[in-house]
């Protein structure tokens, strides 16, 4: 089973096919790390690129991300066995007061598709919960999402909490969500801003100095 077949299945959001060809590759002795890094991640990178240039829309990106998750179900235990390192660890959540999580979930899926380990704190996440998660999981990056103008202040409060807990320098912070702008990111001293799920992996990787 060629890696190209897996790449095509993920890129085109063919969930059943992706699972079948991924399993066939595993059965044929292809290393899970190779399937992940040479087929699945490149496919999701291409999905993100197509979304950014307007060749794909949210539903198509979501379908591809779900397909990637389907392949990952098969690969995850094998990746652990093979001790394949993730490219980095991301804590993500929608800030306190905000229950919107569809966009945040999509960002999390695209980051997972890019090879990151994701700790998803869900929605309505308090500054204290972000701080506790950073202390427990020691992520490389924290991603905060908000969809409401009224909860943009929760991002500032969470940033303040990171400074108070003296862990601000230990993580990169990337923020996003419909009302969030680069200007706002600069104002709250976040390290980065991602406008959408397509660009989020690129922004996060650039901050960590990861190419590709
Ligand atoms: Co709400 N809602 N909602 N809502 N809702 C909006 C956001 C709103 C714009 C609708 C409107 O009035 N036109 C408006 C906000 C107005 C404002 O603040 N300026 C609004 C409102 C007012 C409210 C309530 C206050 C309504 C009420 O009760 N009176 C209430 C608030 C509840 C609360 O949170 N406390 C509320 C409730 C809800 C539902 C629960 C019903 C539901 C959410 C369900 C859920 O998420 N599980 C909901 C929905 C669905 C929406 C709309 C219709 C769709 C949001 C969405 O999922 N978009 C929305 C109107 C709209 O956007 N058309 C609206 C699809 C998603 C893929 O896009 O979330 O933008 P998005 O995510 C993008 C980017 O923003 C970015 O990448 C994603 C993918 O490309 N991104 C990130 C997001 N997070 C990121 C994090 C990153 C990086 C990028 O980290 C690095």
Q: H or E element: which one contains 145? A: strand 141-145
Of 59, 124, 178, the one to substitute when testing ligand 1's pocket (max ligand atoms within 8 A of C-beta) is 178
Residues touching ligand 1 (Cβ under 6 Å) are 58, 97-104, 106-107, 143, 145, 147-150, 174-179, 194, 196-197, 200
For residue 59 the two structure tokens come to 């539903």
Ligand 1, atom 87: nearest CA belongs to which residue? 176
pLDDT at 57: 95
For residue 176 the two structure tokens come to 């996003």
pLDDT at 80: 83
pLDDT at 82: 86
pLDDT at 83: 84
Q: Report mean pLDDT in 10-residue bins for the chain, 212 residues.
A: 92 97 96 93 93 94 93 91 89 98 93 94 98 98 98 98 98 98 98 95 96 75
Of 62, 94, 100, the one to substitute when testing ligand 1's pocket (max ligand atoms within 8 A of C-beta) is 100
pLDDT at 78: 92
Atom of ligand 1 nearest to the CA of 204: 91
pLDDT at 199: 93
Q: At which residue do the structure tokens 């890094």 appear? A: 37
Atom of ligand 1 nearest to the CA of 203: 91
């Amino acid at each position: 089973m060629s890696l190209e077949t897996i790449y095509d299945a993920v890129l085109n959001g063919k969930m059943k096919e992706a699972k079948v060809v991924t399993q066939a590759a595993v059965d044929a002795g292809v290393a899970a790390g190779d399937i992940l890094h040479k087929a699945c991640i490149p496919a999701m990178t291409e999905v993100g690129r197509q979304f950014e240039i307007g060749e794909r829309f949210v539903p198509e990106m979501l379908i591809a991300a779900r397909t990637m998750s389907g392949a990952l179900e098969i690969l995850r235990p094998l990746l652990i066995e093979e001790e394949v390192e993730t490219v980095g660890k991301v804590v993500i959540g929608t800030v306190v007061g905000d229950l919107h999580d569809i966009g945040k979930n999509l960002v999390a899926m695209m980051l997972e598709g890019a090879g990151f380990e994701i700790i998803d704190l869900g929605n309505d996440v308090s500054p204290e919960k972000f701080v506790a998660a950073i202390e427990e999981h020691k992520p490389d990056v924290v991603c905060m999402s908000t969809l409401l103008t009224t909860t943009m202040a929760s991002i500032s409060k969470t940033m303040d909490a990171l400074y108070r807990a003296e862990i601000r320098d230990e993580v990169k912070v990337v923020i996003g969500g419909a009302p969030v702008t680069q200007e706002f990111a600069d104002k709250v001293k976040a390290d980065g801003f991602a406008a959408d799920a397509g660009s989020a992996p690129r922004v996060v990787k650039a901050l960590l100095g990861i190419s590709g």
